[in-house]
Amino acid sequence: MDEKKRPKEGLIAIIGDEDTVTGFLLAGIGQRDSSGTTNFLVCDETTKRAKIVQSFRGFCARLDISIILITQDIAGEIRKEISEHLEVIPTVLEIPSKASKYDKGKDPIVRRVYRLLGKDLDDEMRKDKMKR
């Protein structure tokens, strides 16, 4: 994608459960344009996978979005699409949700960092479990 077309200051998009999204909206990241397009998606147990994928791909295609935050449980539902996203911007960051504990072993960015450092994340996680 041509970076020259991106604004210098981009929006943050969020996909997650109602509590998580509401918290970020209260912090001021919410945006709705004149056509009603938003930079957030609230998901619950009735949200279809296709709707999540559609929103994720839509956020990835928008030039005004620089970061996509997605709760790790929702990210697990669209792992294939997240893995296929190779662009640096928008950056996709997985965050914990109120309902589920964050698992760094499932986070592709953490895995990538460990690989770049020449470390084995699975081995380190096993060692952490043994310490407990």
pLDDT at 1: 47
User: Per DSSP, what are the bridge partners of residue 95?
Assistant: 71
Contact (Cβ atoms closer than 8 angstroms) between residue 61 and residue 38: no
Token code pair at residue 102: 């964050």
Token code pair at residue 100: 């589920």
pTM: 0.81
Token code pair at residue 31: 């945006």
3-state DSSP helix/strand/coil % of the chain, to nearest 5 = 45, 15, 35
pLDDT at 52: 97
Low pLDDT (below 70) residues in the chain:
1-4, 6-7, 132
pLDDT at 7: 66
Helix 108-116 vs helix 121-131: crossing angle, to nearest 10: 100
Token code pair at residue 29: 């990241």
